[in-house]
Chains A and B, each alone.
Chain A
């Protein structure tokens, strides 16, 4: 058995070094045996050596940031055994057993170079919120968690359809809506799954279903919110502007979410691609709107949403104020007639 030093560099890269009996000096200086490119590391930072009994240890050479083990700074020496982790500056030193087993190689059927596996970040102190986030993130990685998201979206679609149905058979209508949603999402996820298989050798079918479902849930929530907004504030174009913004964000999230499963892109690059797609959609949509803006139409557009709201807290205008609205409309059509 030999002790292996795994160095996790601040940028995420890793390197491995077999440790022998000879001491190894660690630092930024070029005279060291192990040279670390890390501005938080001293020129001569630490030394790995054997103690009198022949057991390996790492000792601080009086560096600014010292040695960090078990999330605490230690002065002096730290005994090393397989599994030990010591941080110097922002670089993580992991000590591993050379006999440690590794997983079998993945068969490469696509002959496309697989991207590097995600970088394991050094452990840091977690706040309660961060822990919750981690828990959610972990749950979201399980198949059951992902199926739950798909189920939630399908039931929301069913509920929304039932609430909006004025047919006698509202229940069957709701069921039909849920099934139609499931079928659509399955086809959509299927396309992404094929793309994933090609680029990262895994289908992630359920994952892609979950991404599409999550975005659908968001879209549904906003649709309902927008209806209420336009009911309460019919004169404000706030809901319209927000709708465009939120719609674009949903599109970006959809693309980023799928890319997280179907590519080796970094998180930043996933979102950047997502927003690029959303930007293109905005450009096309904006141009189409501009082209149509001046076109004549004899079909009026207005917000015809009504909601069962007790009249007490509904903001209302007086008939006189409504007359003011009419005067504004007159100005608008007078302007149109001039053109």
Chain B
């Protein structure tokens, strides 16, 4: 269901060559020798077995031992603080325990504190940089030792809900949380994800600056540290962008005799496809919108995906009984996101024949709850429009990691907006 997941998977699997940073210019080795001691390896260790559970990178941002890394590097610690501890290993090999001082789950960032007093650190501040400029990424790819990767700044991604810098360079697992800097040592972004083939992504530095400010000078609302606070961050974040989704001015698309919602927000991308195969006595047209980005929670559980899928089938050759047998099987198709017992409950589903102002339909809602992230749910609404004998429409709205109020509101709006053309 999620498009983000194969994306991430590609990142893990496609990587084969180019492991060591390209030594193209003299400057690269200069950059490395100048800034290497500000970058550390972060590892999350299972207390019982003393085995490494996660490895990432981080970098010093203050003289008093503050570090920036990704939320997903230390997420296990947030989920299970009794079972895990985190530590840093600096360039000299010294091991030092670290604690989480604040996280931003939405932008995938965390501020860590340590007793270490680094000789030098990066100063965070907004940077202006032109597309095509050379950048250097530092980190510990696959736990192979501190490496430097040279690449190019390619601006912000156009279709994301959260800002992401498109970095053309080879990031690898383990480099997460490391800095990507300009030649002069200014931090541009924090390594966060890759889609392989030098297609990599950074979190813009100003997000890290904001989080660090929140930690250093806590105001009314100090940054989240516990799972409960992470849940609150997720809820606050979604409330803002889901408030108007599918409301009055939503874009609509016509598919056969049906009028349906499309592109719920600018950061959605939509695809359409039709299959008209000679050997099949029916036709299928698909329309699919989803967000590229998702929020990492823990393990392989991610959330924050709103996904809209319309599947229209029509026939001129099947009789009503045959067509509806096909329609039933398309409708009963399971396209709900997977999950693990550790994170979510089983699904509970309810079915009704529902009529809105325009047409009758069969509607199913399947709901499950996140076990540890309070008050967050996954909801899948499936609708099959009734009333025609030669065409049918199965429409699915997938909402992951949202509050029940949002499930309820979005599902209701979605049901109300389906109509005849």
Contacts and interface: CB of A to CB of B under 8 A. Distances in A.
A311 B355 contact: yes
A111 B356 CA distance: 74
Nearest to A298: B339
Contact of A307 (B315, B324, B340): B324
B365 A325 contact: yes
Contacts of B349: 300-302, 329
A89 B331 CA distance: 68
A315 B377 contact: no
A176 interface: no
Interface residues on chain A, size class: 35 or more
Interface stretch (A1-9, A38-46, A58-66, A164-172): A164-172
Contact of A304 (B328, B355, B369): B328
Given A300-B336, A315-B353, A333 B369 contact: yes
Interface string A280-307: 0000000000000000111111111111
Interface in B184-211: none
A308 interface: yes
Contact of A326 (B327, B346, B392, B408): B408
Interface in A301-339: 301-311, 314-323, 325-330, 332-334, 336-337
B352 interface: yes
A301 B351 CA distance: 10
Contacts of B321: 163-164, 308
B348 interface: yes
Contact of B360 (A234, A311, A320, A334): A311
Contact of B350 (A166, A326, A334): A326
A337 B363 contact: no
A165 B340 CA distance: 36
B367 A319 contact: no
Q: Which of B327, B328, B353 has the most CB of A within 10 A?
A: B353
Nearest to B364: A302
A235 interface: yes
A318 B347 contact: no
Nearest to A316: B355
B348 A332 contact: yes
B348 A329 contact: yes
A306 B322 contact: no
B332 A329 contact: no
Given A166-B325, A298-B339, A329-B348, A306 B367 contact: no
B156 to A, nearest CB: 35
Contacts of B389: 308
A170 B327 contact: no
Interface in B287-339: 315, 317-329, 331-334, 336-339
Given A314-B360, A314-B386, A334 B322 contact: no
B409 to A, nearest CB: 9
Contacts of B355: 311, 316-318
B328 A337 contact: no
Contacts of A318: 354-355
B415 interface: yes
A228 to B, nearest CB: 11
What's the interface size class on B, roughly?
A: 35 or more
B243 interface: no
B396 to A, nearest CB: 12
B32 interface: no
Nearest to B318: A166
Interface in A139-172: 162-168, 170
Most chain-B CB neighbours within 10 Å: which of A234, A299, A333, A334? A333
Interface string A221-232: 000000000011
Contacts of A316: 352-355, 360
Nearest to A339: B345
A317 B348 contact: no
A319 B416 contact: yes
Contacts of A336: 345-346, 348, 368-369
Contact of A333 (B333, B341, B345, B362): B345
B281 to A, nearest CB: 5
B404 interface: yes
A322 B352 contact: yes
B383 to A, nearest CB: 10
B362 A326 contact: no
B350 A165 contact: no
Given A303-B351, A333-B369, A336-B346, A164 B356 contact: no
Contacts of A315: 353
B401 to A, nearest CB: 14
B412 interface: yes
A304 B344 CA distance: 23
A303 B331 CA distance: 9
A309 B386 contact: yes
A59 B382 CA distance: 84
Contact of A322 (B324, B326, B332, B412): B412
A322 B346 contact: no
Contacts of B345: 296, 333, 336-337
B366 interface: yes
Contact of B325 (A165, A232, A326): A165
Given A165-B325, A323-B408, A337-B371, A234 B352 contact: yes
B329 to A, nearest CB: 8
Interface string B153-195: 0000000000000000000000000000000000000000000
A199 to B, nearest CB: 43
Nearest to A159: B321
A231 B352 CA distance: 9
Contacts of A164: 321-322, 325
Interface of B: 279-282, 315, 317-329, 331-334, 336-341, 344-356, 359-360, 362-371, 377, 379-380, 382, 384, 386-387, 389, 392, 404, 407-408, 411-412, 415-416
10 contacts: A302-B366, A304-B328, A310-B387, A318-B354, A321-B354, A322-B365, A325-B352, A329-B367, A330-B404, A334-B369
Going nearest first, the 5 A-B pairs with the smallest beta carbon separation are: A304-B332, A300-B347, A166-B326, A296-B341, A234-B351
